[in-house]
Amino acid sequence: MTTVFYRDKSTPLPEENSTVAHYTITSFIDETRSSILFLGFDQTINQKVSQSIDHIKYQDEVSIDYHNEYHNIPVLSNQVVLKFIKVTELSEKATESEINISRFLSSFHHPHIINIFEDFSYQPYRVLSMEFAPFGSLKDLYDPTRTFGLNEDTVLTITFQILEALEFMHRNNIWHRDIKLENILVFDNNAKFPYVKISDFGLAVNVQNNHPNDRVGSLGYVAPEVVKGNQCMFCFGYIFIIFFLDISNI
């Protein structure tokens, strides 16, 4: 059993097949320094549906209309990801910021930003219930055995989707600050029309009230501007290089 420390206490995580709020924990997904991810089911919903996802229509106008495709992705409508955020005395403020930003962005239902269904306390954790991406992240889509990167149309489609989401976030004064393969979730891995969403707002900041110049991000993805201590909104170039040129060791 995985155990994390909160103040002076060690607290076990929920077991598989146990119940947290109205969710059933089914399996462990991953663990980071600040959170643990589980796959789960919402007990209040019990049906399998074919969910039609519209890339274009949402509560704000989309500036780039790259295609008019609809993706019919069979999903379990009650399948969710539960993110257990490790709360400490030092991280309480950051945790509250992540939750507030996640709530704010989810209220717009942007097609390329992950939706958060709810958040609740499970002492000593805060838990986010969010969409389940059936095809993992861009890290799972990346294949180092290819002789060259993904085809141009696939790369451009993914790029447009990510940049649409980033532009929307920046227009609403939110900087993500940790764009990397693991934080781009794949909802359709069709090579012709892939469908991705930005996730994980643990390092995101609302610049309307705060103008950060701290050096944050993930090693290997941080832009040179950030390393130099300058402000940088679009730290996206490295992901584009990986998929277009298949360079993963620069």
pLDDT at 222: 60
182 is in an annotated binding site: yes
133 is in an annotated binding site: yes
pLDDT at 14: 85
The pLDDT tens digits of the residues spanning 189-204 come to 887 888 999 999 988 8
pLDDT at 23: 95
124 prior amide bond cis, ω within 30: yes
Catalytic residue among 42, 119, 178, 188: 178
- Token pair, residue 155, equals 């790369």
How far is it, in rounded angstroms, from Cα 243 to Cα 250?
Answer: 13
For the ranges 15-19, 69-73, 103-107, the one whose mean pLDDT is highest: 103-107
Choose between 55 and 142: higher pLDDT: 142
The class (CATH top level) of 2-131 is alpha beta
pLDDT at 16: 86
Q: How is the chain split into domains, by residue range? A: 2-131, 136-248
Note whether 2-131 and 136-248 share their fold: no
Catalytic residue check, 214: no
The pLDDT tens digits of the residues spanning 45-97 come to 754 434 444 443 444 444 434 444 555 555 456 899 999 998 876 678 888 98
- Token pair, residue 221, equals 């993805």
Per-residue pLDDT, averaged over 126-152, amounts to 78
Query: Residue with structure tokens 């900041």?
Result: 205
191 is in an annotated binding site: no
How far is it, in rounded angstroms, from Cα 121 to Cα 64?
Answer: 38
- Domain range 136-248, CATH architecture: Orthogonal Bundle (1.10)
Let me know if 145 is exposed, middle or buried by CB neighbors in 10 A (0-12, 13-18, 19+).
exposed
- Token pair, residue 36, equals 């643990």
Per-residue pLDDT, averaged over 154-158, amounts to 86
How far is it, in rounded angstroms, from Cα 152 to Cα 157?
Answer: 9
